[in-house]
């Protein structure tokens, strides 16, 4: 429903709680080691300090398929799009629209990060999140040396922490741009810890309640998820000249044992996602919703939304 929902869906449904089990043989390890230092440098340049990652537009899709869970028998799809912009020493701003197709219905909304505020947009109305919650959401934006990475970190997306056995594939064109393609297994233990922290924030916003997902990802669930991950891989395409992310993708599969199915409540799950970054370096204007509503007003709207997705 909001920009954080894709990650929560991945965590709560996909589970990415353990390292990928496809470790590969010794020959593959030797091949990976050949450019491991080079690709880790690339990740630091992409997600670390980068004065060229100041503005652009994000567009992404996550497709989730679950078997053995009647509540999610239909495919789930999340879409995300919107501009981000960072200027000088000011925190990055963004206006991200998210659509969620779930159980035959569709929901949509915006998460607006502007000035020192966090605003949830529904239609033409915007509802300011109280500071006690908003400050936690905005904390990554204090890092102003990479506007794109700071916006991604708001939602717990930190690919530089998750890369395991990374390697460079080669140079490729993405939307006409020269890029360097890197690939890696996903260190899903680290991934899932980041998601567990984010889940607490989403619960405080009632998003977990509205979309019918667990309000927390506790240790027993993580342990079951660790054992269930059969593969988890990710790819990034970084601008060859400016080292700004142009595209990211991931592919994950879980097949829990009969014992873990009793905890996880599904027999198999696959998730595929892709994020594209365009108009890099083009200044973007971030406008808040025109009509201001109170957080109490938002709770009334949330009550109706929670009923609509039951």
Is residue 310 very low, low, confident or very high in pLDDT (cuts 50, 70, 90)? Answer: low
Q: What is the pLDDT of residue 309?
A: 60
Average per-residue pLDDT for the chain: 82
Q: What is the pLDDT of residue 35?
A: 67
**Rounded to whole angstroms, how far apart are CA atoms 139 and 119?**
15
Does 71 score more than 80 pLDDT? no
Q: Kindly tell me the sign of the dihedral angle through the C-alpha atoms of 222, 223, 226, 228.
A: negative
Q: Give me the mean pLDDT over the 109-127 stretch.
A: 89
Is residue 10 very low, low, confident or very high in pLDDT (cuts 50, 70, 90)? Answer: very low
Q: What is the pLDDT of residue 308?
A: 64
The model's pLDDT over 157-194, given as tens digits with 9 standing for 90+, comes to 788 888 888 889 999 999 999 999 999 898 878 877 77
Is residue 280 very low, low, confident or very high in pLDDT (cuts 50, 70, 90)? Answer: very high
Phi-psi region for residue 212, left (φ > 0), alpha (ψ -120 to 50) or beta?
left
Q: What is the pLDDT of residue 57?
A: 97
Domain boundaries 5-305, corresponding CATH code: 2.50.20.20
Backbone angles phi, psi at 301, to 5 degrees: -65, -40
Q: What is the pLDDT of residue 192?
A: 74
Name the more confident of 92 and 221: 92
Does 148 score more than 90 pLDDT? yes
pLDDT above 90 as % of the chain: 38
Taking the alpha carbons at both ends of the chain, their separation in whole angstroms is 14
Tally the residues of the chain. 310
Does 260 score more than 60 pLDDT? yes
pTM of the model as a whole: 0.84
């Amino acid at each position: 429903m909001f920009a954080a929902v894709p990650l929560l869906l991945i965590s709560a449904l996909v589970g990415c709680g353990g390292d990928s089990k496809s470790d590969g043989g010794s020959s593959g390890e030797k091949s990976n080691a050949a450019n491991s230092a080079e690709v880790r440098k690339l990740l630091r340049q992409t997600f670390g300090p980068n004065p060229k990652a100041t503005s652009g537009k994000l567009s992404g899709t996550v497709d989730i398929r679950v078997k053995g869970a009647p509540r999610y028998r239909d495919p789930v799809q999340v879409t995300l799009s919107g501009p981000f912009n960072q200027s000088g020493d000011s925190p990055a701003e963004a206006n991200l629209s998210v659509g969620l197709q779930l159980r035959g219905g569709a929901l949509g909304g915006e998460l607006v990060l502007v000035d020192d505020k966090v605003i949830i947009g529904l239609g033409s109305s915007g509802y300011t999140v109280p500071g006690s919650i908003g400050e936690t959401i905005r904390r990554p934006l204090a890092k102003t040396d990479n506007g794109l990475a700071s916006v991604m970190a708001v939602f717990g997306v930190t690919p530089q922490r998750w890369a395991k056995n990374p390697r460079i594939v080669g140079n490729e064109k993405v939307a006409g741009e020269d890029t360097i393609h890197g690939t890696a297994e996903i260190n899903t233990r680290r991934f899932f810890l980041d998601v567990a922290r984010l889940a607490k924030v989403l619960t405080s916003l009632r998003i977990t309640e509205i979309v019918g997902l667990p309000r927390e990802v506790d240790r027993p669930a993580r342990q079951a998820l660790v054992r269930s991950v059969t593969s988890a891989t990710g790819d990034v395409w970084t601008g060859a000249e400016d080292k700004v992310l142009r595209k990211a993708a991931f592919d994950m599969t879980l097949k829990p044992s009969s014992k873990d199915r009793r905890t996880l409540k599904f027999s198999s799950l696959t998730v595929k996602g892709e994020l594209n970054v365009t108009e890099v370096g083009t200044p973007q204007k971030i406008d808040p919703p025109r009509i201001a509503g109170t957080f109490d007003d938002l709770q009334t709207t949330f009550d109706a939304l929670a009923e609509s997705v039951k």
